[in-house]
Amino acid sequence: MSPRACGLPGGGLPSPRWSVVAVLAALAGCVTGAVLCLVMTRSADAYGRSHRQVTAQIVRIFTPPPGRALPAPGLDVELTWTGADGRPRTGRTHLGVAASTKSPLRVWVDREDRLDVGPAATGTIALGSVLGGAAVALAVWPVMLVAQAGRRAWTARRAMAGWEREWRDISAAGR
């Protein structure tokens, strides 16, 4: 198949129509990534208004049963800490590979003194923004190509209908 038959005029250079679709898809991805970054950053900044950090002690380290692995690398531990009302609280959480098993450690709890994961890290925000923007760009690309093909089909159908009308007029006038 020749480059021209593939829609690449000029011996393989991309068509300007493809460039417009690519620019619009990239623009949609960039805008989405920026909005996601803003929303996730605001959420992480506001996290401290509804949560607080407490100092907890490791009470017990759980080991998985023989032949069974943990769902994520690290350790499952039981912690104890003092709640906002002064009563002792306990909870179970997962410590990642990089976390220290030395007591005491700082954990996040919500208003009811239940363990929580903590605010999103900078890396998580950046990765979420990039992946979200890329996903939107990849979703917009085929949608725009389908819309472009539909517009071409609609234009061709209108042109054919116009030619049919003209042909009928010419045929009727020539009889």
Domain check: are 43 and 57 in the same one? no
* Gap between the Cα atoms of 39 and 134, Å rounded: 17
- As a whole number, mean pLDDT of residues 128-136 equals 93
> 66 in a domain, yes or no?
yes
Entry pTM: 0.63
**CA distance to 32, 44, 58, per residue, from 61 (Å):** 42, 29, 7
Domain check: are 60 and 45 in the same one? no
Domain check: are 43 and 24 in the same one? yes
**2-18: pLDDT as tens digits:** 444 555 455 555 556 66
* pLDDT the model gives residue 17: 63
Q: List the domain range (segments joined by +) for residue 28.
A: 15-50+120-150
How many whole angstroms from its chain centre is CA 74? 26
Model confidence band, residue 153 (pLDDT cutoffs 50, 70, 90)? very high
